[in-house]
Copies of this chain bind each other. A is one copy, B any other.
Amino acid sequence: MRLVLFLTLLLASTPFFSQSDDEKQIKAIYDKALTDGQAYEWLDYLSNQIGGRLSGSVQAQQAVEYTKGQLDSLGLDRVWLQPVMVPKWVRGLPEFAYMETKPGLTTNMPICALGGSVATPDGGLKANIVEVQGIEDLQKLGKDKIAGKIVFYNRPMDPTLISTFASYSGCVDQRYSGAAEAAKYGALGVIVRSMNLRSDDYPHTGSMSYGDTPVSQRIPAAAISTNGADLLSTTLKLNPNIKFYFKQNCKQYEDVQSYNVIGEIKGSTYPNEVMVVGGHLDSWDLGDGSHDDGAGCVQSMDVLRLLKKTGYKPKRTIRVVLFMNEENGLRGGNKYAEVALSKNENHVFALESDSGGFTPRGFSLDCSDENFDQIQSWKSLFEPYLIHLFVKGFSGADIGPMKNPDIVLAGLVPDSQRYFDHHHAENDTFEHVNKRELELGAASMASLVYLMDKYGIIPASKIKG
């Protein structure tokens, strides 16, 4: 009776033979990842032996050398460094802030400089503060109410959106363009509520841009923790005349030499069709960059290793690319696409993992409807691994520059609930990555790469013709 049931289930789940092969290969990948994965060990080294890997830093260079060495040891067909010049911005600790509710009566505030910000004057910056809920408020207030003050951007992330990345998108303009916009109204500096849904004491850094603001008119910008922002806002309601002081010593240096780290397995049948899997090797400097994006790097490295270890011989060339300088410049992603174009390389697929090392939920796909349909048809292969989400959308910053009508771009979508608790903050650290969750992500990526390699993409020419 139980055998009959077993056979029925077996038949029900194997509608045709080739799918059964796919099921076996994917099971082999997951089994290997969960019993003999390398990602967690690599991440331990990157995070705990090297640490934060800001572009242009000694640690970023150490990470280049370490990951190249590890790729060398995997027996790939080729491993190399791709030179790229990157910006070098340095925080220059200490940084420090307080609010002064009466002369001499101060409360320290947890802040950190935004990446790319200028320093405050040597003695720090002290001024009245004006709270806004976004850039659009500046015009309403006008120069009268802004000039000579510090602008405090306090629009919180929307907690009702299920994807925290959607909440992030709705707020991040304050961080990215807030200083440039406030400078137009004569503000002396900006303080931005951290992009974090949780109430805590960590300020979260991140990139900002002065756009075309002349150097002489650039004003310093810092993030404040969510608890700090709430306290500041409450205090301002009681007394709009309080002063805010902050001091930061950050500095932009000349560009320095750095590298994308690349390894590849040559395709057996279509060596000129290239598939990329990657993450970015640089990180912010406050934590050790475990989730952003150490996780994506070690997962991508393990994709090639898992395919090899399970005995799979790819028909197409599969490359792992560890991009440099995603956080404050995207120089690595741009350089990789530029070189690929100049060499006339035919990239058919690229998959990035840059949303944290949490339990994988699915993939976000930037491709034609036909390719999307083909990938959707593999859904049932992923269901046993609780990968349910196949949606059209953003893939990844580093692979974006490769976009063309033919290529299929994809991003791993891990569970997003905890991501912004750690993103760009001091608590983006190794102990917040769960080994199995990281490994499940690597296995999910390797499985998609396997299927893309086996079945190929549907080129635009074929669709139109």
Chain A residues in contact with chain B, CB under 8 A?
30-31, 34-35, 159-160, 162, 164, 197-198, 359, 361, 384-386, 388-389, 415, 417-418, 421, 434-437, 440
Contact = CB atoms under 8 A, between A and B. Distances in A.
Contacts of A417: 359, 434, 436-437, 440
Contacts of A415: 359, 415
A386 B384 contact: no
A455 to B, nearest CB: 24
Contact of A359 (B197, B359, B436): B359
Nearest to A34: B159
Contact of A434 (B159, B418, B436): B418
A435 B164 CA distance: 13
30 contacts: A30-B160, A30-B162, A31-B160, A34-B159, A34-B160, A35-B159, A35-B160, A159-B436, A162-B384, A162-B386, A162-B440, A164-B436, A197-B436, A198-B435, A359-B359, A359-B415, A359-B417, A361-B386, A386-B388, A386-B389, A388-B388, A388-B389, A415-B415, A417-B434, A417-B436, A417-B437, A417-B440, A418-B434, A418-B437, A421-B434
A434 B434 CA distance: 14
A37 to B, nearest CB: 10
Contacts of A359: 359, 415, 417
A159 B438 CA distance: 13
A114 to B, nearest CB: 25
Nearest to A418: B434
Contacts of A361: 386
Contacts of A434: 417-418, 421
A164 B34 CA distance: 12
Given A162-B385, A418-B437, 17 more contacts: A30-B160, A30-B162, A31-B160, A34-B159, A162-B384, A162-B386, A164-B436, A359-B415, A361-B386, A386-B388, A386-B389, A388-B388, A415-B415, A417-B434, A417-B437, A417-B440, A418-B434
A418 B437 CA distance: 8
Contacts of A440: 162, 417
A386 to B, nearest CB: 6
